[in-house]
Structure 1
Amino acid sequence: MALFSGLSAFPITPMTSGGEVIAPDLQRLVRRIEAGGADSVGLLGSTGTYMFLSRDERRRAVAAAVEVAVSIPIIVGVGAMRTDEAQALAHDAATEGAAGLLLAPVSYTPLTEEEVFRHFLAVASATDLPLCIYSNPGTTNFTFSPDLVARLTAIPSIAAIKLPLPANGSIASDLAAFRAAAPDLSIGYSGDWGCKEALLAGADCWYSVAGGLFPEQAAALTTAAMKNDRETAGHCDDVFADLWKLFREQGSLRLMYAAANLMGLTQAQPPKPLQPLEETLQARLARVLPNS
C-alpha cells in the first residue's frame, strides 16, 4: 500500500512535565499501532503535541519510533513557526529514518497563499522525502484552497494532503473539488467521526486520532470502508459512536491522554498549560472506550 493511504494512526507523545519524551511509553504505543494493523504511524501531529516539544526532543521521538517500527512507515510532523526551523526538523526526521513528512503552515501572523507556497517549497527542498500537506485551519488559521493545492503539486515531493472535514457542504463534494484540482495527489481526512463517510466517498487515507490507541478497530473500519462495504463499515463505526460524541464535544487531545492513562499505556499528562481531563469526563470516557 502507498505511504499516504489506508489508516494512518496518530499517537500522543508521552513526555515528562519538563518536556522530555518518555521513549519507552512512545515505543509501546508505536508497537501497539503496528500490531493493530495500521498502515502508518502519524508521529508528532497535533495529537502528538509537536509544538510543545523542542527540536532535540522531536528528533528523539522520531528515533524512538523508528527503532521499534518493524514493518510500518513513520510519517513525521515538521511544522514550525519559521521556515528554517521546519527545514531543520525535516532534515532531522529524514536522518532518523522517517518515511514521509507532514507539514502544517504554523504561524502567529496569518499567512498569505504566496507565503505558504514559498514555505512548502523551501521545506520540501530540505530532504527527498515525500511530503503531505497538513491542512488544519483550526490551529493554523490558514485554509488551503483547491487552487493553492494544485499549485503546490508542482513541487515534486508533495504527494498528499490531510484535510479537515468540511465546515460546509458534503465530504463527497469537498473531495471532488480537491480531486479535480490535484488528481494525482493522495487525499485523506481527519476528524474521526466523519472519516467513514470520507473513505466511502473515495478518500485515500484516514488520518486517525482514535487509531493511535485503538488501531485494530480503526483498521477494521478502514478496510471495510475502502472496500465500499457499507454495512460492515457502519458496524465498525458504531463501535466508536460514543467516543465520537465526546470528541465533538470536548476535542480529542485531552481525551486521548486520559484514555491512555486509563488503559495503563502511560501516566504522562498533557503538556502545560493544558490540563488533564476533569474527573467527571474521565468517568464518562471510561464507559465509552472501545474494547481494547
Structure 2
Amino acid sequence: MFQGLSAFPLTPLDETGINEKEFIPLIERLVSAGVDSVGVLGSTGNYAYLTRTQRERVLQLAVQAAGGVPVMTSISALRTLDVLHLAEDAQKAGASAVLFAPVSYQPLTDEEVYHLYEQVTSNLSVPLCVYDNPNTTHFRFSDELHGRIANLPNVAAIKIPGVPAGAEAAGLRIRNLRGLVPSRVALGISGDPSAAAGIKAGCEVWFSVLGGLLPKTCLKLTRLAQAGREEEEGQISSLLEPLWALFRQYGSLRVASAIAQQLGFISEPALPLPLLPLNSSVNEQLTAVLREVAGLESLQN
C-alpha cells in the first residue's frame, strides 16, 4: 500500500466530540478521487487530542467508508502500553497498516526508541510505517537508527520530513537513507512543500495533508512527479506554493482546518482547545489562494 498518494484527512471535532457526519464524506471524497491510500488520525487528524475509544471509532468509520482502499492509522502515544493497546484496536478494526511516531514527554535516547519499535513490531500482524516527525516528537532519527529499525519485522515504510532544497541534495539524502534500509521498506515524503522533490529523488509515496482536502490536485501532482513531467508538475507546485507558505507559517492543522471550513467540508474549525482558528486577516489570504487552487481541483478528472 506504500506507493503513490496517501491522503491524510482532518478529523472534524469540537469540545463535545467527533462530528461523524462530516468525517465520512471526507473519506468518500478521497476514495472517489482515486487516492492510493488513506491515512487517518495523523497529526492533522488530531490523534493526540482523542481518547482511545474515539480513535477506534474514527478508524472504524474510515475503514467502512473507504470501501477497500487501504487505510493506515496512527498508534502513537506517550506510553508503550498505550501504543500496544492502540495497535490491537487498529488490527481489530481492519487497518491495513499503522503509523507510529516516538512521541514522549521525556527526551528519548536512540536505544529507547529502538526498543520501543522492537516491542511494538513484535506484536503486529499488519505493516508499520515509521513516522520521523522531529518538529512534534523532538526526536531526531539518524539514518543508522532508521536502518536498524527498518530491519525489524513488519516495518514496511518510513515517513520522512522534507528533503533538502535542490535536486542533487535531495537525491543524495534519499540515496544515503536507501543504502541503509532494506529494499522492501518504502520511503515516503511527508512535508507537502517538498513532495514533488521527494518523489523525484526516489520516494515511493507522498503522505499528504493537502491530499486529504484536495485529492485530485495532489494526485495529479504525484503522477506528474512520478512520470518525470517536470514542467507540468512545476506549474502545479507553483500554484500551491502560497498555500504551503501558510502551512509553514501557521501550521498545517490550523490551515487545513480553515481550508475545510472555507470549502464547506466542515461547519466549524476542527481544532481542539487551546488551539485557535486563523485570524480574519490570514483567512482572507487563504481565500485568495483557494480561488485558484479550488478551481484546479474542480478541473481534474
Structure 2 partner of 1:72: 69
SS at match of 1:26: helix
Q: 1:94 to 1:256 in 2, by over 3 A?
A: same
Preserved contact between residue 34 and residue 71 of structure 1 (Cα < 8 Å) = no
Pick the aligned partner of 1:15 from 3, 13, 17.
13
Structure 2 partner of 1:130: 127
Is 1:39 aligned to residue 40 of structure 2?
Answer: no
Q: Relative to structure 2, which stretch is displaced further, 35-44 or 100-109? A: 35-44
Report how far residue 239 of structure 1 moved.
2.9
TM-score (norm 2): 0.93
Pick the aligned partner of 1:5 from 3, 17, 27.
3
Structure 2 partner of 1:230: 230
SS at match of 2:256: helix
Structure 2 partner of 1:261: 261
Structure 2 partner of 1:205: 205
> Which amino acid in structure 2 is aligned with residue 176 of structure 1?
R
SS at match of 1:207: strand
Structure 2 partner of 1:273: 274
> Which amino acid in structure 2 is aligned with residue 213 of structure 1?
L
Structure 2 partner of 1:245: 245
> Which amino acid in structure 2 is aligned with residue 151 of structure 1?
R
How many residue pairs were aligned?
A: 289
Supply the distance in 2 between the matched residues of 1:267 and 1:255 (Cα, whole angstroms): 15
TM-score (norm 1): 0.95
> Where does the alignment leave 5 or more consecutive residues of structure 2 unmatched?
none
SS at match of 2:179: helix
Report how far residue 126 of structure 1 moved.
2.5
SS at match of 1:268: coil
Preserved contact between residue 11 and residue 30 of structure 1 (Cα < 8 Å) = yes
Report how far residue 150 of structure 1 moved.
1.0
More helix by share: 2
Report how far residue 37 of structure 1 moved.
2.1
Supply the distance in 2 between the matched residues of 1:91 and 1:277 (Cα, whole angstroms): 36
Report how far residue 168 of structure 1 moved.
8.2
Pick the aligned partner of 2:89 from 83, 88, 92.
92
Deviations, residues 132-170 of structure 1 (Å, cap 9, x unaligned): 000000010111111111111221200100000146883
> Which amino acid in structure 2 is aligned with residue 8 of structure 1?
S
Q: Relative to structure 2, which stretch is displaced further, 242-251 or 46-55? A: 242-251
> Where does the alignment leave 5 or more consecutive residues of structure 1 unmatched?
none
Deviations, residues 17-54 of structure 1 (Å, cap 9, x unaligned): 13x22112111111111112211111111111110000
Supply the distance in 1 between the matched residues of 2:122 and 2:41 (Cα, whole angstroms): 20
Report how far residue 238 of structure 1 moved.
2.5
Is 1:48 aligned to residue 45 of structure 2?
Answer: yes
Supply the distance in 2 between the matched residues of 1:211 and 1:68 (Cα, whole angstroms): 17
Structure 1 partner of 2:170: 171
Report how far residue 232 of structure 1 moved.
1.9
Supply the distance in 2 between the matched residues of 1:224 and 1:162 (Cα, whole angstroms): 21
Q: 1:272 to 1:78 in 2, by over 3 A?
A: same
Report how far residue 56 of structure 1 moved.
0.3
SS at match of 1:86: helix
SS at match of 1:203: coil
Q: Relative to structure 2, which stretch is displaced further, 147-156 or 204-213? A: 147-156
Supply the distance in 2 between the matched residues of 1:96 and 1:17 (Cα, whole angstroms): 25
> Which amino acid in structure 1 is aligned with residue 7 of structure 2?
A
Supply the distance in 2 between the matched residues of 1:263 and 1:100 (Cα, whole angstroms): 30
Supply the distance in 2 between the matched residues of 1:57 and 1:268 (Cα, whole angstroms): 19
Is 1:26 aligned to residue 23 of structure 2?
Answer: yes
